[in-house]
Amino acid sequence: MALRSSHNLTDLFSDELTAVVTAIHNTPEKIVLEFAGAGSLALAWLHGVGGSSRTILEATDRYASASLTELIGFRPEQFVSRGVAVAMAAAAYQRAQLLAEPETRLVGVGCTATIATDRTKRGRHRACVAAYTAAGLLIFDLTLVKGARDRLAEEQVISRLILRAIVEASQIGGQLSFALVEDEIIETSFEPVSLLEQLLTGSIQTVMLSPVGRLSTDESAVNGAIVSGSFNPLHQGHRQMARIAARKLDRSVYFELPLLNADKPPLAPAEAIRRGAQFLDFAPLVFTGAPLFTQKAQIFPNTVFIVGYDTAVRLIEPRFYHDDPAQMRAAFEAIRAAGCRFFVAGRVKDDRFLTWRDLALPDELHDLFDGFTEQEFRIDLSSTELRQK
């Protein structure tokens, strides 16, 4: 196979590219661009045509893994993946919201890629690009035929893919050509993140994010057990808890991220998508607007809610029921009537490992609580500690 090369710099600023970039600069959208591994030519093209000051708010090359991890808020198992690109785009959109004036039309773009370098790579040469707007999330996935191009030629293809993401996110007409070789296909998808706005307004109850990145409103797909949390970040303790619970309970295990919290501001859709990106290629995640377990029980009847020890302690604290025993009894009766119960994961406190057996449960609630023993599950991790690190 002949190696394709691109060393003529005049080819890098062709008439077609100039026209595309000019069209981008003539739209009202303002962009924050985050890229890792490839994508620098896209930024050069955007700056190479007059008008980039109307378009670019900020662009950052996240070449060090620590820089990328800092941006997305978690350390991924694979740095080149749809989940990472989505998290980058969502973080870029949040950054754009900070930099731009209110009511500005914004695009957050994330690109993560691995391409040819000065050493032989074992894995695939691949790029994942995502563009986040108020209306939806565009995802592009491309695997390059290894050895078909040199580094510069691969960089050109990936940078064109970034421009295509901006063009489609900005709803600009026209197509950008790609010099793809046989067996190379750009896989694309669009997900309506506006569903999350409907969730916040209460017009729908749930939004499901599938492991392949599909957003839907079918909560009937959830039937089994649910791990509820903020997942900032998702960590190995959550993953292992779900695996062991699925085996012990003989149920499918889902994750739930409520956008509303009794003690905190609502979670913005972009932040919800950033956190949800951790679940792509791993497990289904359901977003809800239900901060209380009484509400969750109504949405997901006959469900086992898997909770940490600290959450279980809060569940039986009278202060969360206005110190009214009758209100507390009514809440748990509603949960019992929905066929729901709790399964508790223990934790270390004051050098002692505490399980559900250590909870100060009223007699009438014992049937609603069960849990892991220390031998079945113990991982001394917390999302707070991971964020601090």
Single-letter amino acid code for the residue at 127: A
The pairing of beta strand 125-132 with beta strand 106-114: antiparallel
Interatomic CA distance for residues 284 and 214, integer angstroms? 10
In 3D space, the residue among 233, 229, 231, 213 whose CA is nearest the CA of residue 72 turns out to be 233
| Residue matched to tokens 């991890």 | 69
Domain ranges of the chain: 9-191, 194-388
Give the model's pLDDT for residue 122: 80
> Is the sign of the CA dihedral 67, 73, 75, 79 positive or negative?
negative
pLDDT tens digit sequence for 291-302 = 999 999 999 999
The predicted pLDDT at position 175 comes to 80
Say whether 194-388 and 9-191 share the same fold.
no
Strands 225-228, 253-258: pairing is: parallel
- Cα(227)–Cα(304) distance, rounded to whole angstroms? 9
CB under 8 Å to 184, separation ≥6 — which residues?
142, 143, 144, 145
Could you tell me the pLDDT band of residue 261, with boundaries at 50, 70 and 90?
confident
| 53, 228, 336 from 333: Cα distances, Å | 60, 20, 5
Phi, psi angles (nearest 5°) of residue 261? -135, 140
Contact at 8 Å (CB) between 186 and 157? no
CB 301 within 8 A of CB 340: yes
Give φ, ψ of 32 to 5 degrees.
Answer: -115, 130
Radius of gyration over every alpha carbon of the chain, rounded to an integer in angstroms: 24
Percent of the chain with pLDDT over 70: 94
Residue 356, phi then psi, degrees to nearest 5: -60, -25
Alpha helices by DSSP H, listed for the chain, are 15-25, 40-48, 65-72, 82-99, 151-169, 194-201, 236-249, 269-276, 293-299, 309-315, 325-337, 383-388
Spatial contact of 243 and 389, defined as CB atoms under 8 Å apart? no
Average pLDDT for residues 52-68, to the nearest whole number?
97
Mean pLDDT of 181-193: 96
Whether 89 shows a pLDDT value over 90: the answer reads yes
DSSP string, 71-105: HHSS--S-SSSHHHHHHHHHHHHHHHHHHSPTT--
Distances (CA, A) of 75 to 22, 128, 138, 238: 37, 17, 23, 14
- When the pLDDT of each residue in the chain is averaged and rounded to a whole number, the result is 93
Q: Residue 263: what pLDDT? A: 77
Does a cis peptide bond (omega within 30 degrees of 0) precede residue 233? yes
Whether the predicted pLDDT of 384 surpasses 70: no
- State the pLDDT at residue 383: 55
pLDDT for residue 264: 85
In CATH terms, 194-388 corresponds, of 3.30.160, 3.40.50, 1.10.20, 3.30.70, to 3.40.50
Largest pairwise CA distance in the chain: 79
Nearest-angstrom CA–CA distance, 249 and 240:
14
124 φ, ψ to 5°?
Answer: -75, 155
CA 78 – CA 92 distance, rounded (Å): 20
- The C-alpha torsion from 260 through 263 and 265 to 268, rounded to 10°, is -40
Instruction: Give me the residue label for tokens 């960089």.
Output: 155
> Rounded mean pLDDT of 70-95?
97
- For residues 384 and 42, the model is more confident at 42
pLDDT at residue 218 greater than cutoff 80: no
Tell me the β-bridge partners of 190. Answer: 138
The first and second tokens of residue 32, run together, are 């924050």
Determine which of 119-123, 243-247, 290-294, 337-341 has the lowest per-residue pLDDT on average.
119-123
Mean pLDDT for the stretch of residues 276-289:
95
CATH number of 9-191: 3.90.950.20
Q: At what angle do helices 40-48 and 151-169 cross, to 10 degrees?
A: 60
Mean pLDDT of the region 314-332: 95
Instruction: Give pTM, 2 decimals.
Output: 0.92
Q: Quick one: pLDDT band at residue 186, thresholds 50, 70, 90?
A: very high
